[in-house]
Structure 1
Amino acid sequence: MSTKSVVTMPDLDDEFISLIFAVRDSLSLPAIITDQNEKIILWRDLDSSKTNIEKAALDSGSNLQYDPIYFEKELHTMKKAHPPIQLDLDTGEKWFVYYKDSEALQQLRIFPYIQLSLIGIFLIIAYTVFNSIRNSEQNLVWVGMAKEAAHQLGTPISSLMGWLELARVTYESQDDSLFNEMERDVQRLEIVADRFSKIGSTPSLSNHVVYAVVEDYVNYFKIRTSKRITFELTGDQHVEAKLNVQVFDWIIENLLKNAVNAIEGEGKIGVNISENIAKEEIFIDISDTGKGIPRSNWETIFQPGFTTRKRGWGLGLSLTKRMVYYHRGQIFVKESEIGKGTTFRIILKSNLRYEPTQI
């Protein structure tokens, strides 16, 4: 890098020199004045630690002492910032005033962007808070509706239980299988009503044998399903997990109903329970021989409102995922192939230290 030396002041009359100093002293921006050969004449508002200058040096016409590398960089910056101001002298020489924006002006230029950013952040926060309040209100409405539905179901269910018992006595059919299945259906209605009453609350969990819980519901469900669909329950019959049986039955019910809907005609639904001892995890795989799920939908099927059926709200798998999460578990599509079937996997912890949350 070439260094630039300071030129001595030319022989100018005192009035012009006074004018030059007046211009220099009136500058409020960092500036450098050079001659036409880019030799530095004057400067203003630069880093004092890099410049060693006294006014007396100018008056005496002596050379100015400064850091040449620093001035080289500053001059380069000023050339890029603004075009120079040309001063034509009576001697025929030309001086050039190079300058750049002061720190205050630079800060003022970015201030609108900072202000807009702050406004943007404020709007985002305001929208987030408003959206959260709106969702909270909607959740309260749904919770209230669910609890009211459970309350309204209570009376007819109690009446059905009474009428069923009266029918048993009237027809002397205490052990009739038809009445037994009707009673199971009424009990199932009680369970459904109790599920809705628990929405928004914190149900308790306790240790249960997973196989027994699943088996109990599968036995209930398969009687009420087409005989063209067969069920197979396999796996570890002793592994335990912390469950809320009523809520967990709801999970199994939704998955089995989806499996039945996916099967057109004859088919098979399998449930396998296994344990990964190393990771202390329980796997519950529910598979069917239905139409399968495209891989692009493996994640979206758990979103509220997603459905491939002409009728339905698309809330089944969304609720299922929420209830699995309530058990501190995971659910996902393990595998699926179009025309061959799908397998859902539920993962639970076998030694879960549970911190209860709302459903």
Structure 2
Amino acid sequence: MFYKRFTFRLILRLVIINLLGYLLFYLIKNTQLWFTIIGLSLVFIGSIISLYFYINEIRSDIKRFILAVKTRDHTLNFKNKTTKGSFPELYESFSDILQVHKQIRLEQEAMFQLIKTILEQVPVGVIVINNTQKEQNGHLEIAFFNQAASALLGVPAYKYWHRLKQHLPVFAHEVDQIVTGGKRFLELKIQDKFIQLSTEVMPLNLYGNHYTIISFQNIKDEIEQKETEAWNRLIGVISHEILNSITPISSLSDTINRMVTDKQNLTEDEMEDLKTALQTIKRRSSGLLDFVKDYRLIAELPTPILESHTIGEILKHIKVLMQPFAKVRNVVLDVEQTSSRITLQLDLKLIEQVLINLITNSIYAVEEMPNPHIQVSYRLENNKLYIEVIDNGKGIESDNLEKIFVPFYTTRKHGSGIGLTISRNIMKMHKGSIEVASVLGEGSTFSIMFNYI
């Protein structure tokens, strides 16, 4: 290794210098050989100077190497010294390190170009603001502005953030509102067209530099597609219900019309048939009217009035309300943890309606089961609070798990099909949700979820 060679040469030079110094001292003290003494003195001084340059050479080269690494200068090389230098192994190591450093730099640059190319091709707009680098006048610099961002916003790829703010103040204002991180949906008018953007902002600290990453995409087409699908499902259900009511009404009306046409008097049998037909028309008309009322009930839910209520209070109310109904149908209803002091902001009447709907559905689900049992309890998990209604009923087929939330869809003989739809809407108004898990033949678990912080 180079340090072994260096140590050997250094010790050898020091020994020679010491011997020369001792010999020079001896000659000066004991002889008059002045020419020899002068020559030996020059050799002694030359040896010292040689030692200095010998040590200073490696110090200078190490300094150059460190400077090259710091400044990422890959042009420096020590190839000539690897063969005839004082430390061939050291200089060879220097060359290898510089080559590896250069290779890493090239790989990083290639990866950067790959990521940049990918970001240029994705349909998501990406803007990266460098909060550390500023102009002399204090304007923030935009480190990256992809083509999708330019196309979605209808602006050129600006170099500075203040220019984009001047062009699109609404967009910049929305970004400033969520600069600490988060997501927003906003509508912008770009070139006389409205676009709906899902915008997300994420701060990032990287190697001492502070960045703000803004990503956004146009979700208008997706929203329109989902709206179309929802409308198609709703229209299909409404059409089915209306046709079921209108078809017999139309048929009976035609029958009545034939019965009374060109007749002055009706027989007793004909009068009975007429009464039956009119009663049927009335019944189907009432059914259609109830259907319309149910539809209005879904569309016109009241805005929640949020107040502080404990979980124990909610469960106590539900136990009082639903226990008699369950008892009449021979169903065991266990409402647990009614002493809980955990508090939530909610509309008590609306949440009670949700729980009434879920427990009622469970009661009907367990009616034909042996030992029908329903359990109501709550649990906390990952900053979320769940109130669960668990039954040992017949369960729900996997294909129907999502359908049960579609308006007017029901598997119950006399069900309206709006209870779960209303319940889901109420939970959305509380910024929560309804989750369902079911095993056919074993039972179902309906959970209403609240954010609990």
TM-score after normalising by structure 2: 0.33
User: Of Structure 1 and Structure 2, which has the larger fraction of its residues in helix?
Assistant: 2
TM-score after normalising by structure 1: 0.41
